[in-house]
Structure 1
């Protein structure tokens, strides 16, 4: 019998000076989606998340997607390499000060190409650039890429909570 317990790790950064940034490679460009398109976010979620069996939004309706993505509390960036989507991230700040990196990841073809650290640096920097941000946080789990937790910590994020859940 296999152990199906998984662990969720919660990490935070409370000062922009904690960011240990990794430079953006010249071949990677990152663009904010300034015109929200909930179907595009759904596509990005599936493109990146299918590899890691993300499923928490699988039963969301168009109305739920629209409400989140078109909210002033939500922002999306997409990373491109040679014209193709390499990854994306979403920031969410429902309380006006604490920014959650809600979703973050690379397309499967872009993994192991050195894009993860620079994209995460960009995400954290964008969160701090959002006026009035006091804290940036994220959660990851043992279902994510094996390097996910290490990448967050390498960028300066600190573990503040860990939960194990029977699967």
Structure 2
């Protein structure tokens, strides 16, 4: 057992009161997958650089991630988040629908030879429209346009139920499972109490 990354025993493990647990699946692709047929963004939808300001970033982060309990960048210290936003090795792109930010693509090239798909998603109203597939095609093309050997991402059981299959169909292969336990952000005030209704609120 590693003290910094303990291994859970078989069977049930208790989760502290006021916390949430999620099974995290990490996936990777070690070579560029076969190119998919072009799937352009629909009329009125574009992909553009996201303003590298805390306000613009967190507004989009909330719009895309609130239903899935995205909270890490909301509770992160402003100076820490600004350092990430200022990092030239991280690409921040906004999917814009009729001039309004409606999706996020964050590619982190900070580690030599690899790219992390750090954040990826669209607003609830765009889920199932095909926009996500077009955005993923763009993510894959951008990642492998650099001299990388590994493109990776993680998802969890709090995400959209189709997320894991979507990543696998995109060419990612699972390589690790972990369990993440964290204070419920709906109880700490980081997110509204009435969001993420697919996750029971136990206070």
Pairwise TM-score range, normalised by the shorter structure: 0.7 to 0.9
**RMSD of the alignment, in Å?**
2.2
Structure 2, unaligned stretches of length 5 or more? 1-14, 183-203
Map of 1:149 onto structure 2: 164
Q: Which of 1 and 2 has greater Rg? A: 2
Please name the residue that 2:196 is paired with: none
Unaligned runs of 5+ in 1: none
Q: Is the 8 A contact 2:60 2:102 kept in 1?
A: no
**What are the residue-to-residue correspondences of 1:11-160 with 2, within 5 Å?**
11-18=27-34, 20=36, 23-27=39-43, 28-33=45-50, 36-129=52-145, 131-160=146-175
Q: Which has the higher contact order (CA 8 A, sep 6+)?
A: 1
* Change in 2 beyond 3 A, CA 1:13/1:63: same
TM-score (norm: length of structure 2): 0.72
Distance 1:102 1:166, change over 3 A: closer
Provide the TM-score with structure 1 as the length reference.
0.85
CA 51–5 in structure 1, closer or farther in 2 if over 3 Å, else same: closer
Counterpart contact for 1:8–1:164, Cα < 8 Å? yes
In the alignment of these two chains, the number of paired residues is 163
Query: What is the rounded CA distance, in whole Å, between the counterparts of 1:154 and 1:101 in structure 2?
Result: 15
Aligned counterpart, 2:9: none
Alignment of 1:1-16 (within 5 A): 5-16=21-32
Distance 1:92 1:29 in 2: 21
Deviation at 1:18, TM superposition (A): 4.7
**Does the 8 A contact of 1:78 with 1:85 survive in 2?**
yes
Secondary structure class of the residue paired with 1:89: strand
Question: Per the alignment, do residues 44 and 159 of structure 1 end up closer, same or farther by CA in structure 2, a change over 3 Å counting?
Answer: same
